[in-house]
Amino acid sequence: MSLIRNCIIEKNNNKIPIWFMRQAGRYLPEFREIRKKNPNFIELCLNKNLVPEITLQPIKRFKLIDAAIIFSDILMIPHGLGQKVEFKKDFGPILNKVDINKISKISEKEFTKNLMPVYDSMKIISSNEIIKTKDKIGFVGAPWTLLVYMINQKSPKKKIAKEILDDNLLIKSLLNIIDRFTKLHIKNQIDNGATLIQIFDSWAGLLKKENEISELIYNPTLSLVNYVKSFNVPVICFPREIKNYKEFCEIIKPDVVNIDYNVNPKEIVKNIKIPVQGGLDPKILLTDKETLKKETIKYLEIFKDHPYIFNLGHGVLPETNPGMVEYLVQTVKEFK
């Protein structure tokens, strides 16, 4: 059994597993070489020759990392549904206006065909000897976060346009479509070798009202979590900046909850019974080794008697020195 699943299933805390969100990608020089020649990000995510190579780059560089997460994007789902998605440098994703009539007509067969290179890549990754004893992580965006991107057509950053929540009929229809095709995306990843699924709710913190949190985050996410569990595959939820992590865990019951860096880890360890992942601020990797070690040990000490998977409170930043990542992995693995 892999270290991560040992932590999740057996609640074994003897050896702390470690992996990173966005561990494959922009901070690695070997990735930047590939990216230079492949400027279209969506096309790169659909390149079954390059995706396995990119996914395995951090595993080859940091041999003690305990999982490979497929190089992909949560916005592959709107792409698979026929909503145009492109990434603009220094801006982020831009999506065409969502056409509910058009996406309502997409069949499961057509959706799978649109994203087949993702599933082919997962199959290639899963069969690679280098990660035989490591977990293969597939992922999806949570329904609320996908809904935000699909209606807002870009990243909302810290604010969401009020009119996004005005059209109840559009929201209901879109959530039904997102639920159906996100489940298909999950199934296709599991069928091709994913041993863990992470659900990213990047914009969970935008909602403040109880009824909105319940209708747009809790209910749709619970549907996905129960679906993943039906495959006997562990599921990790990352409801970034959610108002109440304790309530989220009690309602959703994921196998693991990933915390963000704005939450107090001491409160988490006191209030949450399930395994916890993450928490370290990615900006700490931009400081020095002494600070990095101190902050890393802080998390390791807090969670020493609680099932814990070391990760960050968000993705690795592009300006991160790979040497600092190496040092962080070493620090975690040497901790006793």
Count CA atoms closer than 13 A to 281's CA, side-chain side. Answer: 13
pLDDT in tens, 96-127: 999 999 999 999 999 999 999 999 999 999 99
Domains in the chain: boundaries? 3-334
3-334 maps to CATH 3.20.20.70? no
Whether the Cβ atoms of residue 64 and residue 326 lie closer than 8 Å to each other:
no
39-48 average pLDDT score: 97
Under 8 Å between Cβ of 225 and 237: yes
Two tokens at 84?
Answer: 């145009």
The 10s digit of each residue's pLDDT in 151-202 is 999 988 755 666 677 888 899 999 999 999 999 999 999 999 999 999 999 9
pLDDT at 161: 65
pLDDT of residue 163: 67
pLDDT of 28 > 60? The answer is yes
Reduced to 3 states (helix: H, G, I; strand: E, B; else coil), residue 190 is: helix
pLDDT at residue 332, rounded to an integer:
98
Residue 153 structure tokens? 């057509």
**Rg of the chain taking only CA atoms, in angstroms:** 19
The whole-model pTM stands at 0.97
Query: Residue 156: what pLDDT?
Result: 86
Given this model, what pLDDT does residue 160 score? 65
- Inter-residue contact 227 to 164 (CB < 8 Å): no
